[in-house]
Amino acid sequence: MCVGFGGIITRDGQVLFGDPDADGDWSHESLLERLPLLDGDPYLRNFVRFEFPRKNENSFRVDEVLSVPGWFNEEHEQKAKAIYRRVLPALDVFHAKSGSISAAFRLRIADLPDIDDLFPDISIDTSFIYNEYRESNLRALHELIEAISTMTGYVPYPGGEE
C-alpha cells in the first residue's frame, strides 16, 4: 500500500493509477493485479512503483524495496508529477469532504458516553452513526473516482470499485 497518491510508471513512460481505497490511498499491488506486468527481477522489470506521501509534488518518491531500474530517469518522474497535478484537485475535494464527515462522526460519538452514563443498563446501538459516516465517505470516494476515471492513465477496477 502506498501512502497518498501513487501508481506505476512503465519503462515507456506510461503513468498508471487505479482507484483509491476508502481513505484516499492507492495500492500498487491492487493496480498490478489489473495489469499484465510481471513483478519479477527488480533489475529487469518494466515498471517502477511511485507515490506522493504528502500533498506536494515535491514529495514524489520511488516506492521500491530493492532497487530502481537503470532506465528510470527524470523524465519518468516529471510525467508522474504531471499526472499528480491533474489528480490533486479531485483528491483535495475528497479529503475536504471526508475530513468534514470524519469530524462530524467524532462529534456525534463524543455525545454518546454521557447517554451511557445515564442509562448504564441499556445497550445503545450506535451502528447507525457509523453506517451514516461510512455511506457519506463512500459517496465522497465515488465522486473522487468519477473525477479521475476520465484521466489518462486511469486503470479501472474490473467490475467497478473495490
The answer to whether position 154 is within a domain reads no
Residue type, 9: I
Cβ contacts of 156 within 8 Å, gap of 6 or more:
18, 19, 34, 149
Instruction: Name the helix (H) or strand (E) containing 74.
Output: helix 74-118
Q: How many domains does the chain have?
A: 1
Instruction: Name the helix (H) or strand (E) containing 89.
Output: helix 74-118
pLDDT computed for residue 61 by the predictor: 92
The answer to whether position 50 is within a domain reads yes
* Residue 45 binned pLDDT confidence (cut-offs 50, 70, 90): confident
The answer to whether position 12 is within a domain reads yes
The answer to whether position 91 is within a domain reads yes
pLDDT per residue as tens digits for the range 99-156: 665 555 555 555 555 555 666 666 666 666 667 777 887 888 899 999 999 999 999 8
pLDDT computed for residue 137 by the predictor: 79
The answer to whether position 153 is within a domain reads no
The answer to whether position 156 is within a domain reads no
Query: Which is nearest to 153 in space by CA: 57, 73, 108, 87?
Result: 87
CA atoms within 13 A on the CB side of 69: 20
pTM listed for this prediction: 0.76
Rg, C-alpha atoms of the chain: 20
Domain extent, residue 124, equals 5-148
